[in-house]
Amino acid sequence: AGAIGAAVGNPADLAMVRMQADGRLPLELRRNYKHGGEALMRVVREEGVLALWRGCSPTVTRAMIVTASQMAVYDKSKAVILDTSKMADGLAVQTGASFCAGIVAALTSNPIDLAKSRLMTMKPDANGKMPYTGTFDCILKTVRHEGVGAVYKGLIPTTARQVPLNVVRFVSVEWCKKMLTNID
């Protein structure tokens, strides 16, 4: 489900990433989109309809990796907390397990988010060659030229987004499971 949603939403994500990155570019390289709709129309007109899915591979990969890691880490963390403490399953245990899931989600998504943004904003060089051929090429070139820390730029804000998101998500899921279990 996450992969399909990511693929369907990629054109909007592409427009957002490009519009956000535009301000960092020199004036002569800016795209100067007026709004998301114009960005999408210009991408189709100037680059072709398939360009709307540039960066789709890391977007889909990210969705699958983050979802799988969140679910696995939440379940395992919850089990470990319950097995190693005297705590009963409740808000504290669920919050702790959600916190762990959020940290792992941030750590696993950050390198892919970086690649996604770079793939979506890349432009061909003077010879018409793109700087990256795909997600892993982008990550490898980034690490080779900028160091490992480069793929974790923005980790603190990513974590600050992922942890509360996971707490709300998993505590809500647990509450819904509890409510549905009590229905006769």
The mean pLDDT value for 110-115 works out to 92
Q: What is the pLDDT of residue 152?
A: 96
pLDDT, mean over the chain:
93
Q: Please check whether residue 167 is in contact with residue 175, taking contact to mean a CB–CB distance below 8 angstroms.
A: no
The residue with greater pLDDT, 125 or 100, is: 100
Q: What is the pLDDT of residue 184?
A: 60
User: At residue 59, does pLDDT exceed 90?
Assistant: no
pLDDT bracket for residue 62 (50, 70, 90): confident
DSSP the chain: -HHHHHHHHHHHHHHHHHHHHHTTS-GGG----SSHHHHHHHHHHHH-GGGGGTTHHHHHHHHHHHHHHHHHHHHHHHHHHHHHSSPPSSHHHHHHHHHHHHHHHHHHHHHHHHHHHHHHH----TTS--S-SSHHHHHHHHHHHH-GGGGGTTHHHHHHHHHHHHHHHHHHHHHHHHHHHT--
Dump pLDDT digits (tens) for 3-15: 898 899 999 999 9
User: At residue 1, does pLDDT exceed 80?
Assistant: no
Percent of the chain with pLDDT over 70: 99
The mean pLDDT value for 91-114 works out to 95
Dump pLDDT digits (tens) for 16-39: 989 998 888 888 888 999 999 999
Dump pLDDT digits (tens) for 134-184: 999 999 999 999 999 999 999 999 999 999 999 999 999 999 999 998 776
User: At residue 80, does pLDDT exceed 90?
Assistant: yes
Residue whose C-alpha is closest to residue 81's, from 95, 93, 91:
93
The mean pLDDT value for 127-135 works out to 93
Helix (H, G, I), strand (E, B) or coil at 40: helix
